[in-house]
Amino acid sequence: MQQNSSIADKVQTTLGALLILCVVLNFSNVVARYGFNTALLGIEELQVYLLVGISFFGAVVVSWRREHLRMDALVGYMRPRTRRVVSVLEELAMAGLLGFAAVQSSRYSWQMAQINRKSDLMEIPMWIPHGCVTVGLALMALLAVYRLVAERAAVSTPLAAEVKDPAGEVLL
């Protein structure tokens, strides 16, 4: 599973570089505005779209690593079987809700592409930032489905302790 972690690390590094780019763009706009009494048109717009992509692809990395926020204060006190049931319910909820949101988001992204909607200043096709939301939601939903399938395999496999999720965590 080291390769999977390496992919997540590369995505995280890329997202970090994009965040630094946002800071540089913001600083450049401040210098242009207050130093030269001019504005770099569209920079704020580009920053917002970059931050949307960073947020949703970052959420995929966090979900991959199982580092997302969870209300698990009581789970540690549960028996292993109960913990497994809670884990399955959690993944079912994530798969269902994220899958539903991904479908709705894809419909909206498709509409933006069909009407050729572009952003006001930089004329960025609006299906791109909306598509980032769709892809992020879909990847997290697929990850939840993968974990459900892996959990099912773990329950029916005699060597259940050897079955791991994409982040390398033992499922049982």
pTM of structure: 0.81
Alpha-carbon torsion (19, 22, 26, 31), positive or negative = positive
Block means of pLDDT (10 residues each) for the chain, 172 residues, are 73 95 94 91 93 96 86 80 87 95 97 95 94 97 93 62 55 50
Gap between the Cα atoms of 100 and 93, Å rounded = 11
